[in-house]
Structure 1
């Protein structure tokens, strides 16, 4: 999901973003009810990146006060042994920020076998009374600090608890206009994934969504865990395979039996549902990778700990490599130089090869820390006593 201008009544963040982009001399479409179109200068679509403006939380102090009170055991986790591998793009679909490929060594760590579920997140909320970013009114005074100077304040009616939901268009649309399938929905949050009239009854084992990076961090702290680094995530996703494109190998995602929850057909208006899921799938609905990890491709994007910087890989010593990288010191996305972003990995149920190949193990995406979306979740890791290094 990307920074797009999803207009006045639909998207606050995208509205603010509309204004922000306008200030950068991109022309919006002057239509009253239709969200503005993307600038013709944007050369390639980014289906699942979130370019939403930074939405700060009013209760950051509350998050930092949450102590590890969840079950700190290794239940539901898999031990990933330390190893050395070549990190980065493996095929012609690789984006510029996936290069250069470089040597990385990571220590052993435990990682959740599945994405964090609604049931798990509900226990956290019950124990702490935590309110997610999507459930809070955005604080304009904090928000504008992350926007270009002199960005005007949006109408107060837009500064409401809300999140982004997917809305399928009824016909083919331009893939350069994300507003054709994303809606800023008041009342959408982790308990109401499609908006206020929806719920998660009977979906305890579905991945929790509409969680910001802050929300994921708060859960991890409560659970005695942390978010994976980008390097840890990719090492785990590769499942013991060397320089393969996907967690399962090199077979294209739509060849053979369904291997992940992705979009089949013409995105975003036609989904053949060959994999049996239109929206989210229960966790572990597809075969795990070689390490026993489920949904490392598709279903939902997953937060990582690292800042996103489009040139980060170029700073790594390609000859000697790097051990346990923690990402760049600062965030930078040339598409939105004012926004602070974190890496997201793994793709989602909306990814399709004609538009987005996020389910590739090397695929890097990014989102502002306050972003919540219908296809964005997370999984946790814990440090482990190091084991002998495995080289791939």
Structure 2
């Protein structure tokens, strides 16, 4: 049975009413020209809640993983406006609302109760300057085939990923157009963080770099007091101790951090000039966030597999995804995040949370057609042509497990921040002690 299409004006009015109620914004302040991220300050959690509400209101199904090129084009528009949502809803009229079969809907259990490794990320203040610091890395014992190093600046465990010719992307039936074609890339060896950067380590960064212009903090993570997400900020500033994680979140990933805030940390952690955090010139050392190619290789190895652990379907024992329930209000310490050192989303190289928990910023500018460009197969390929959108990978606790596929690609503006968006860093093998190239 098909449903009659509503007149366009009715779709627009009804959509604005749903947005008003879901995002708690007065209807009179909304316009179809509003940018969802920049003007309405919506993140992935807000968008997921909004999509659910729109499905209920219009009795439609909005794809979680839009493989249709038309839907993908709408979802990746920059900026993404309420008028684009109207177009999306209009396209879906008559599809009928159906259960989300690809959301495995984990039971509401307390996250963070699985197996963990010792937490090594440091708090406090890093008082030694780069000029007097000894070797940036010290070797660690590891049972993995890859060597592991401790980065002195922040205590991060770093995995040495070997050089290889790797297959990136996907040609499987479930692959989106921006994941195609499967292609080879020669990658040099690199170091990558074994875990996402924690609130503890991010506070160490902030406490170590001294007084900052307010504009820097606003670029990085500080939200407008009127932004509803401010109540979920996991770190706070005190006159006595400086920046500190909220009690109970010390081993959680740093969230609500923009690409700029992630990149500033990546530079500081690698003893580079963190004030160049905008990386506007795409300098070779302008960022120590992983490229999409590095991230995907580190997530699943040199040959294609759907998820970091292989092709087997995700389960709650393997990752954290699909946890959000409609109309749930979270307090900061009740967000269903997992400790960064918990053994979930494990890659073949021993990296944690390479699927689920939090999305992770990458260095590339996101371009849905990049894999079709010759530059995508160059050695150490990455997209350095500005598109106004930076890439992110890995999926999160909010969305369905299908978004946690290792080849899944998406992006958002570098100033964006979200409650399911964090980051990890890479490091250069040239910084290893001379005896260990």
Q: For the superposition of Structure 1 and Structure 2, which TM-score range results when normalised by the shorter chain?
A: 0.5 to 0.7
The runs of at least 4 consecutive aligned structure 1 residues that moved more than 6 Å come to 34-43, 49-52, 67-71
Normalising by structure 2, report the TM-score: 0.56
1:19 aligns with 2:33: yes
Report matched runs for 1:203-222 at 5 Å: 203-222=249-268
1:100 aligns with 2:181: yes
Work out whether residues 361 and 423 of structure 2, in 8 Å CA contact, stay in contact via their aligned partners in 1.
yes
RMSD between superposed Cα atoms in Å: 4.0
- After superposition, the C-alpha distances for 1:313-371 in whole angstroms (9 at most, x for unaligned) are 111378xx32101215131xxxxxxxx11000011112314xxx221110101111011
Work out whether residues 203 and 235 of structure 2, in 8 Å CA contact, stay in contact via their aligned partners in 1.
no
The equivalent of 1:326 in structure 2 is: 382
Superposition deviation, residue 52 in structure 1? 8.1
Q: Give the SS at the match of 1:185.
A: helix
Superposition deviation, residue 285 in structure 1? 1.5
The equivalent of 1:263 in structure 2 is: 322
1:16 to 1:191, Cα distance in 2 relative to 1, 3 A: farther
The equivalent of 1:335 in structure 2 is: none
Gap regions ≥5 residues in structure 2: 1-14, 37-48, 67-74, 81-128, 138-148, 151-156, 237-244, 272-287, 329-333, 432-437
The equivalent of 1:89 in structure 2 is: 170
Q: Give the SS at the match of 1:246.
A: coil
- Of structures 1 and 2, the one scoring higher in RCO (CA 8 A, sep 6+) is 1
The equivalent of 1:202 in structure 2 is: 248
The equivalent of 1:147 in structure 2 is: none
Normalising by structure 1, report the TM-score: 0.62
Q: How far, CA to CA, are the matches of 2:226 and 2:162 in structure 1? A: 40
Work out whether residues 303 and 343 of structure 1, in 8 Å CA contact, stay in contact via their aligned partners in 2.
yes
Q: How far, CA to CA, are the matches of 1:17 and 1:345 in structure 2? A: 31
1:136 to 1:52, Cα distance in 2 relative to 1, 3 A: farther
1:244 aligns with 2:311: no
1:10 to 1:342, Cα distance in 2 relative to 1, 3 A: farther
Moved more, 81-90 or 111-120: 81-90
1:270 to 1:84, Cα distance in 2 relative to 1, 3 A: farther
Q: Give the SS at the match of 2:229.
A: strand
Q: Give the SS at the match of 2:391.
A: strand
The equivalent of 1:166 in structure 2 is: none
- After superposition, the C-alpha distances for 1:184-206 in whole angstroms (9 at most, x for unaligned) are 434543427xxxxxx72122111
| 1:228 aligned to which of 282, 287, 290 | 290
**Which structure: greater helix fraction?**
2
Gap regions ≥5 residues in structure 1: 23-33, 55-66, 138-159, 164-183, 193-198, 272-276, 332-339, 387-392
| 1:296 aligned to which of 350, 354, 376 | 354
Q: How far, CA to CA, are the matches of 2:320 and 2:418 in structure 1? A: 17
